[in-house]
């Protein structure tokens, strides 16, 4: 299923169960969790997304199926060495204001998902990771009603690409630090010279 099709189906399914979480925000939370060092917990993510929903009957079943599909697809995409990962956002045909608002909600969700994935506090992160996360915080407050002109379209496209690469950078850092044992880095040949 195409990302834009999945986005619309999931957004509709979340609305059908009265969730106050959008498809973009749900995907952001998931990507934040996947960017941390801990193994992602699908049930915990779904519980977070549906926390205030009224999930019952066929609408709930359809929503759970889409969330499960999104979890599987996103886990694979973020682990893909060819960098296929993309934030789940409305189609390019949607008004720029709607797409900008969705990007803001995605970043908001991402920042919420990071601690759920076990990402450590800023004292243990490289400066460039903190800069990315600060930028995501700024994007989360993006103006949701920009004028539909070429400059705004270009700026939006640049922001989406920045968010995509930023999320992959944070994930790369988290998985690298997970492999690196705590304490001092290894030394040359291990002898103490004396």
What per-residue confidence (pLDDT) applies to 152? 84
What per-residue confidence (pLDDT) applies to 149? 73
CA pair distance 14, 112, nearest whole angstrom: 18
Which of 29-38, 76-85, 131-140 has the weakest average pLDDT? 76-85
Q: Is 54's pLDDT higher than 50?
A: yes
- Per-residue HEC secondary structure of the chain comes to CCHHHHHHHHHHHHHHCCCCCCHHHHHHHHHHHHCCCCCCCHHHHHHHHCCCCCCCHHHHHHHHHHHHHHHHHHHHHHHCCCCCCCCCCCCCCCCHHHHHHHHHHHHHHHHHHHHHCCCCCHHHCCHHHHHHHHHHHHHCCCCCCCCCCHHHHHHHHHHHHHHHHHHHHHHHHHHHHHHCCCCCCCCCCCCCCC
Percent of the chain with pLDDT over 90: 57
Assign 186 a pLDDT band (cuts: 50, 70, 90): very low
Q: Is 194's pLDDT higher than 60?
A: no
Mean pLDDT of the region 24-34: 96
Nearest-Å Rg of the Cα atoms of the chain is: 19
Tally Cβ neighbours within 10 Å of residue 163. 23
Which of 63-77, 85-99, 177-191 has the weakest average pLDDT? 177-191
Assign 38 a pLDDT band (cuts: 50, 70, 90): confident
What per-residue confidence (pLDDT) applies to 146? 61
What per-residue confidence (pLDDT) applies to 4? 75
Question: What CATH number was assigned to the domain covering residues 3-179?
Answer: 1.20.120.740
CA pair distance 169, 46, nearest whole angstrom: 25
Domain locations in the chain as residue ranges: 3-179
């Amino acid at each position: 299923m195409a990302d834009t099709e999945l986005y619309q189906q999931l957004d509709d399914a979340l609305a059908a169960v009265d969730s106050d979480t959008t498809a973009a925000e749900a995907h952001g939370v998931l990507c934040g969790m996947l960017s941390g060092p801990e193994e992602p917990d699908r049930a915990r993510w779904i519980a977070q997304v549906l926390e205030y929903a009224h999930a019952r009957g066929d609408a709930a079943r359809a929503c759970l199926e889409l969330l499960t599909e999104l979890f599987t697809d996103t886990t694979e995409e973020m682990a893909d060495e060819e960098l296929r990962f993309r934030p789940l956002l409305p189609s390019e045909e949607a008004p720029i204001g709607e797409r900008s608002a969705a990007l803001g909600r995605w970043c908001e969700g991402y920042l919420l998902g990071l601690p759920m994935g076990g990402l450590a506090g800023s004292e243990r992160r490289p400066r460039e990771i903190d800069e990315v996360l600060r930028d995501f915080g700024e994007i989360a407050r993006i103006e949701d009603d920009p004028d539909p002109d070429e400059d705004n379209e270009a700026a939006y496209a640049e922001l989406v690409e920045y968010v995509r690469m930023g999320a992959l950078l944070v994930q790369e850092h988290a998985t690298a630090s997970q492999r690196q044992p705590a304490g001092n880095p290894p030394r040359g040949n291990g002898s103490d010279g004396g």
